[in-house]
A and B are shown apart, each in its own frame.
Chain A
């Protein structure tokens, strides 16, 4: 059983559309991170959210940490082909970075 479940697992949308990816858990986390991974490369950190209810923005990406610190969401506005990739949320239970199930996003030009 995965500690962090992401939905959707796959998402393919047209350029310019908006989308939201969800990361859910039954456990409470002191913080959650979001990564993006390109094929054949290691994941790259996008953001760390620490406070329940926190909202962070990174250009067209908006990250939110749930009030109960059990879930998080990533919203992308006006998606572009360069946003294509595998998006991973991650938490740190027992001091070990553990990844969610992943969302593979494809933006169609």
Chain B
């Protein structure tokens, strides 16, 4: 089946530094990927839609300069959290739409802790 690989699974960084999270589609091509953020005991909130070869589309209230998204190939999308603050600590999950299965497949998530 369609698999999305997300790395790293956990990362701890210092305030003010940047962190990059990768999301790869392993056995299919993903022209569109989605990035979600999930705070403890809450649901997943869509942050942005990543489109291969074009600019990402950000949801209202999400700072595009802080959460940089790059989708340079059909199998890789990256999310970079720039100038990280403790309030950016969260669980970040990527997803890709698998057309033939009419469904979305998810990465295993990245737990980001900013200290």
Q: Please list the residues of chain A having a beta carbon within 8 angstroms of any beta carbon in chain B.
A: 2, 33, 40-45, 48, 86, 88, 96-102, 104
- Is A97 a contact partner of B46 (Cβ separation < 8 A)? yes
In the assembled complex, the Cα of A48 lies from the Cα of B109 at a distance in Å of: 22
B39-52 interface bits toward A, Cβ cutoff 8 Å, 1 = contact, 0 = none: 00111111001000
Residue B75 at the chain A interface, CB threshold 8 Å? no
User: Which 4 pairs between the two chains have the least Cβ-Cβ distance?
Assistant: A42-B106, A102-B43, A99-B44, A99-B43
CB distance from B39 to the nearest CB of A (A): 11
> Residues of A contacting B93 with CB < 8 Å?
42-43
Name B97's closest neighbour in chain A (CB-CB). A97
> Residues of B contacting A44 with CB < 8 Å?
106
- Is A42 a contact partner of B95 (Cβ separation < 8 A)? yes
Q: 23 A-B contacts, Cβ less than 8 Å apart?
A: A2-B43, A33-B103, A40-B108, A40-B109, A40-B111, A41-B108, A42-B4, A42-B93, A42-B106, A42-B108, A42-B109, A45-B103, A45-B104, A48-B102, A88-B43, A88-B44, A96-B46, A97-B104, A98-B46, A99-B44, A99-B45, A101-B43, A102-B43
